[in-house]
Structure 1
């Protein structure tokens, strides 16, 4: 079973801010420049969600596609649904993974994106009220109607993945979870087995091994830690951040590349199908990040980065 490595362009920053302001011509130009830069270097995967910039991310993406229809055949487009913003107390979000709601959100995403089908649809968050059989019915309907080709999940534990999978006949193709140098819980649970370091159940115990054995893709969101280790050494950084940033800069010079590339290359070493998601709309950053696929860190470099970012030694 061969693993796949790729970079996904996250589109959460498309369409302007998280407000009711209309999409501007400048927003559309920025989206088009980002999409074209991604396609030019070979990046085909684009990640959306119905809530990103309140629907404007999908809408501006659709406008670009309408003006350049030939782009679609070179794209793998995915979107997510299941979060309803500002419907809970004090403006909090609630979740809804019911059949009627998810199908309606797919319809709306297709309309905004101006496409006939979605390559991959992900359930955005685990809903305590979700029903596995109902989710399978939802997937079956969307696939039978030709609206969605593949299905996956996001931010789900091993048990939640297995719960849905027992009802759905096809393999869930991906789990989009937070994973990076600065958030390596998925890996920490593996090395901390039977130690006092494992003082709580993170929900991802065994998920890494499950993905390896089933070839389920890990889509790593937050892959660059919002630049936490990529800035030049600054006074307000912790010692842990300074040491990690220093090593990243050293490796970037060694491999003649940028710091972002090294942080992504660290993820790509993992022996699993993994697709880190980047959230930039800057064309030069997109091009730089994609170079990570051609960088192969050594085992020693990989461990040095991980231990420095963790801030504690391995057991």
Structure 2
């Protein structure tokens, strides 16, 4: 992780210039207009890289980021930003279109163009930056996608993916697989823009076919806690047959069922080691991640990690008291 700016220990008189410099580094040349500088300026901005894809998380007091047509003509590498608003409502205007996006929503911006972006009060966002040349899409498709994003069936899936990527950014960015994570993220963004940007039929079919496995993985991660998650429900959600789903997985040497179980175990393992979840029983956590049979969960967990769920929890939570409504340690 790189901290682009943290004003917490910075003298008040230095903050305006420091924020401006950080904004230019994170986005592009622009003007930064603070909402109420007399009440204090605060900003924390962090950045992680996943190959050519970049994730920026920002928390700040109210401001307006204005990039003029003159600044846009200076020419930077064209890239898009998919920004999920984690706090406050954001206003974004670009290409004669303006939108108000509440907390939890997402905007699409062409960083190389002129734009007007702002929020009031304490706000925050998690923003994915993707070079346009990595998407293989025309600027026209990107521009059309700006107004059609919320109508795409992939809109919520992309929001969930950005939030999960941000939650695990420190670990994922340091992993050798970081470029692969970035490539998969770019594929999902590409599919979203094609869906929202009304690309021509041939291009849309090609992109959606090429990104199917990426979209399937993102869909599964968003629905892991549902006991009814199955190849049948996954295929139905993507308007394909189960046979075709298995064919795509086989071509990628990818076992869908085993991967779902592995992902559920991984999420359960992380929650068992989380002090914030110490009030939940092992059985409750197992159910939260789609395991309806606690006995089956205990066996699969021990097979995968060579310890029982209870042992893993005690190793990681130490003296923190956890409830033992069901003892899975004694399972054969």
Greater RCO, CA 8 A, separation 6+: 1
Q: Structure 2-normalised TM-score? A: 0.29
Q: Structure 1-normalised TM-score? A: 0.30
Report the structure number with the largest CA radius of gyration: 2
